[in-house]
Amino acid sequence: MNMDKIVCNCMSVTNGMIKDAVDSGADTLEEVQEITGAGTVCGACLDDVQHLVDFFVEERGK
Ligand code: FES
């Protein structure tokens, strides 16, 4: 995965920033939104952000 790829254009949040938020303890979309701001403006990225949160939470558990 390209960690520098932007998932949320409104807030310029990258895949890597979502991963960092999850690695620092966030477990849910809401927590990641609070930490990164991803998905808090237009909402168009929400499905993608949710998908990434689920993926990184799963990875973290391995
Ligand atoms: S693209 Fe993420 S809130 Fe607009």
Query: What residues line ligand 1, using a CB cutoff of 6 Å?
Result: 8-11, 38-45
pTM given for the model? 0.95
Q: Which atom of ligand 1 is nearest to the CA of 46?
A: 2
60 Cα–ligand 1 center, Å? 25
| Ligand 1 atom index nearest CA of 11 | 2
- Centre of ligand 1 from the C-alpha of residue 48, in Å: 10
CB 39 within 8 A of CB 29: yes
DSSP assignment of 9-49 equals TTTTEEHHHHHHHHHTT--SHHHHHHHH-TTSSS-TTHHHH
* pLDDT band at residue 62 under the 50/70/90 scheme: confident
The mean per-residue pLDDT over the stretch 12-29 comes to 98
pLDDT in tens, 22-56: 999 999 999 999 999 999 999 999 999 999 999 99
The CA angle 60-50-9, to the nearest 5 degrees, is 110
